[in-house]
A = this chain, B = another copy of it.
């Protein structure tokens, strides 16, 4: 039902591999997440997927996103305040986030997940990881600041 059947099958495989039922709604939601290079909100996903499945509801998009996040296929990036919607992205090879405080735009920066590097950041962190039994499964690094040139767009893509 999606325009790109070959991508669709990769998505179906991903869903099946984590034990999810392959509904067209989930395929479409995950498909949009894969194809979107920005960080769409639930409503962004809803608007996009509605073009493929006009009958889909926003609640279903939320449920699908939650399913994907729980299954480890997607990640939720929370908004800054409670009224700012959360944003979602496919969980591929991780990356850091560069958040522009002027425009709200969020950029990805490819990340090498290296616990050793993180441990070296600070002796205190090293102590937690080595001596206090904290097992590190991942980390989120968000860099806050702003672009000095004016070429940062007002709104992030997608």
Contact = CB atoms under 8 A, between A and B. Distances in A.
A40 to B, nearest CB: 15
Contacts of A80: 76, 78
Most B CB contacts (10 A, CB to CB) among A79, A98, A111, A121 go to A121
Number of copies: 2
A135 B143 CA distance: 10
Which of under 10, 10 to 19, 20 to 34, or 35 or more describes the interface residues of A?
A: 35 or more
Contacts of A112: 122
A58 to B, nearest CB: 13
Interface in A101-131: 101, 107, 109-112, 117-118, 121-122, 124-125, 128
Contact of A142 (B83, B139, B148): B139
B148 A133 contact: yes
Contact of A141 (B100, B107, B110, B140): B140
A17 interface: no
Interface of A: 76, 78-83, 85-86, 96, 98, 100-101, 107, 109-112, 117-118, 121-122, 124-125, 128, 132-149
Given A135-B147, A139-B142, 7 more contacts: A78-B78, A78-B79, A96-B125, A128-B143, A137-B145, A139-B141, A142-B142
14 contacts: A78-B78, A78-B79, A78-B80, A98-B128, A117-B121, A118-B143, A121-B141, A128-B143, A134-B143, A134-B145, A134-B147, A139-B142, A140-B141, A140-B142
